[in-house]
Amino acid sequence: MREQAKLQQTLTLVQVVFLGLAWMTPMIYFSIYGIAYESSSGMLTQSYLLAFIAIMFTAYSYGLMSVAHPASGSAYTYVKKSLHPYLGFLVGWALLLDYLFSPIIACLTFGVYMHAEFPSVPAYAWMIGINLAITLVNVKGAAFSANLSKWFVLLQMCFIALFCILLLRNISSLHDPMAPLTQTDIPFSSILTGASVICFSFLGFDSITTMAEETKNAQKNIPRAIGFIIIIASILYVTPSYLTQLVFPKAISFLNIDSAGLEIVRMVGGAALGTAFIVVLLFAIFTQGISSVSSVSRLLYVMGRESILPPKYFAYLHPKWKTPVVNIMTVAIVSMLALVIHLDTAVKFVNFGALTAFFFVNVSVIRHYYAQERRRSAKGMLLYLVLPGCGAAFIGWLFLQLSEDALIMGLAWLLAGILFHGRNAPFVKQLLKPITKSKLLSGRQTN
């Protein structure tokens, strides 16, 4: 019998970090600048610091679970093994929303920006083109995707560094260097609201857990990579926020809140920096698409390997490239929804899926380490109950901030998952067992 192809452990710590940063997209700082500035009443520095502290709880939980279960299924695997197989399926199904709609967002935003720059070329042509390019890069393998993503992430870092250098040149000696941190005239509720929006800038650190089986020494490198990604992203977000508040201590009025990032770039560096911004942002969108397709194709592979999805297709690996090519092609087809779907709808699906997974990963830490392994010393209570409990509480609060239509769409997706899983699910079988028995008994009595 021919040995089944397996995922190859080719990724180093550095490559995994860059894949995570590519998914997160450092340039998202400018993409959400307007809404973040408005929701936080201009207190971006304090809001980013608060968001960093809050998201670190969940990142810490992902690190712990990646040590306990170094497989490529991410939250699906963690919840399945720590809480319940059927609950794991539901969380994995919800996580598919996050990972499936991220490539759609990449195609959609790339098409919109390119059509704005080249109006003679229709947006759908750009969407189809980037989808094809992302698919080809992912078919070539995880290492190839990581190496390509590294250069594009470095380009984003260089742009943010240039932006910060130009801000430094405009700082007056009269400015109080502690003002962005000590301003108290804005209510704390505004900073909290800003942090709830800004937290979504950190989405993507979890995506690298889907690459665990392709990472060298995954039990050590995946947790380290998660920490590096969060810290690097925080520096890339907090530094320009702090410097911008020093240069513009008073409230800024933007012409269009959606394009406020481009406006602040032009205010700092003029039209030339604005042009560079568009170019770098397009590269950022491309790398985010590469990383998100890598993540969702691996999640589909794990669900196929465990027969949650048809294994003949979803558990197939290309014999040469050792990549789940069927999954990658499937994602490419789904990504064509970018031609008909609205951006805000796609973002709502992503938020619902990500927050669902984040909440249950925090709960999984408590169940695995505190309840099952009984690590209940004073230190164990802090590490395995209090910290993940804080993470679960904050994510639960964020979940309640989702709009009503986001919750309705997310719950409809979960219902579709329940119907798809059907009678093959052990949990559903347990629920249906009494009903089935009663029908059999009534049938016998009738006979």
- Per-residue pLDDT tens over the stretch 335-380: 999 999 887 788 888 889 989 999 999 999 999 999 999 999 999 9
The pLDDT, as a whole number, for residue 440 is 46
State the amino acid at position 179 in one-letter form.
A
Is 86 in contact with 360 (CB distance < 8 Å)?
no
Q: How far is CA 29 from CA 44, 265, 349, 354, in A?
A: 11, 11, 20, 19
Percent of the chain residues past pLDDT 70, beyond the cut: 92
Domain ranges across the chain: 13-292+343-401, 403-447
pLDDT over 80 (residue 447) = no
Is 304 in contact with 73 (CB distance < 8 Å)?
no
Is 87 in contact with 360 (CB distance < 8 Å)?
yes
Output 195 or 384, whichever has higher pLDDT. Answer: 384
Count of all residues that appear for the chain in the document: 447
Nearest Cα residue to 246 out of 182, 191, 178, 165: 178
Q: Output the six-digit token pair for 4.
A: 């089944």
pLDDT band at 390 (very low <50, low <70, confident <90, very high): very high
pLDDT over 70 (residue 445) = no
pLDDT band at 173 (very low <50, low <70, confident <90, very high): low
Average pLDDT in the chain? 87
Nearest Cα residue to 99 out of 233, 300, 283, 281: 300
Q: How far is CA 347 from CA 31, 97, 272, in A?
A: 13, 10, 30
pLDDT band at 39 (very low <50, low <70, confident <90, very high): confident
- Per-residue pLDDT tens over the stretch 277-336: 989 998 999 988 998 898 899 989 999 998 888 999 999 998 888 899 999 999 999 999
- DSSP state, 324? -
Give, to the nearest 10 degrees, the angle between helix 85-117 and helix 75-82: 170
Q: Output the six-digit token pair for 356.
A: 């669902």
State the amino acid at position 169 in one-letter form.
R
Question: Which stretch of 128-132, 309-313, 443-447 has the lowest confidence by average pLDDT?
Answer: 443-447
- Per-residue pLDDT tens over the stretch 154-171: 999 999 999 999 999 888
pLDDT over 50 (residue 86) = yes
The pLDDT, as a whole number, for residue 2 is 42
- Per-residue pLDDT tens over the stretch 42-75: 899 999 999 999 899 999 999 999 999 987 778 9
The pLDDT, as a whole number, for residue 346 is 85
> CA torsion, points 395, 22, 211, 326, in degrees to nearest 10?
110
Question: Which stretch of 1-15, 52-66, 138-152, 388-402 has the lowest confidence by average pLDDT?
Answer: 1-15
pLDDT over 80 (residue 425) = no
CATH class of 13-292+343-401: mainly alpha
Output 73 or 239, whichever has higher pLDDT. Answer: 239
The pLDDT, as a whole number, for residue 196 is 84
- Whole-model pTM: value is 0.82
